[in-house]
Every structure is written in C-alpha cells, then in structure tokens.
C-alpha cells in the first residue's frame, strides 16, 4: 500500500537538544557516531507514535557511512524499512 502524506511525522537533527547533549565535543565524535545518534532519535520518535514501518529515502546519497549508520540505529531500535 502506498500512502502519500505531506505532514512531517517525525524529525531528528544534531541541533535537537537531546542529540546535541550526547555529542562529546571535547573528544572528536565521528560522523558515524553522530549519524547513529540521529537514527536512534528518529526511531524512538516514530515508535512513540506507534509507527513501526517507514519508507527510507536516502535522497540519492550512496548507502554507506553516515546513511548506513543512521539506518542501522533505526533498525536496531525496531523500525522497519
């Protein structure tokens, strides 16, 4: 089933307070760790709303490094693509 929705159901960014507080700026956090934290936050946001299945549009970016880390964190927390 395809559902077209123009509403933002969940969002996460390194600028959101819970994520920015987890980033240790005294020790250089890798892009992988930061993307993993964003994936964790987005998964929690969806799961709190009872959404377990989502479409993952990587926007044309190759599926590796940061994109892969974000997806891995979301999957580990129960989100299905």
pLDDT in tens, 17-63: 777 776 666 565 678 888 888 899 889 989 998 989 888 777 777 77
Q: How many Å apart are CA 26 and CA 78, to the nearest integer? A: 31
Q: Does 17-76 carry CATH code 3.30.420.100?
A: yes
- The confidence score (pLDDT) of residue 74 equals 92
Q: What does the pLDDT read at residue 47?
A: 92
For 64-76, what is the mean pLDDT?
Answer: 88
Q: What is the pTM of this model?
A: 0.74
């Amino acid at each position: 089933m395809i559902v077209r929705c123009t509403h933002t159901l969940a969002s996460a960014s390194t600028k959101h307070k819970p994520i920015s507080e987890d980033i240790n700026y005294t020790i250089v956090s890798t892009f992988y760790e930061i993307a993993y934290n964003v994936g964790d936050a987005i998964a929690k946001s969806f799961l709190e709303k009872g959404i377990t299945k989502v479409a993952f549009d990587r926007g044309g970016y190759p599926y590796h490094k940061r994109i892969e880390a974000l997806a891995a964190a979301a999957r580990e927390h129960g989100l299905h693509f």
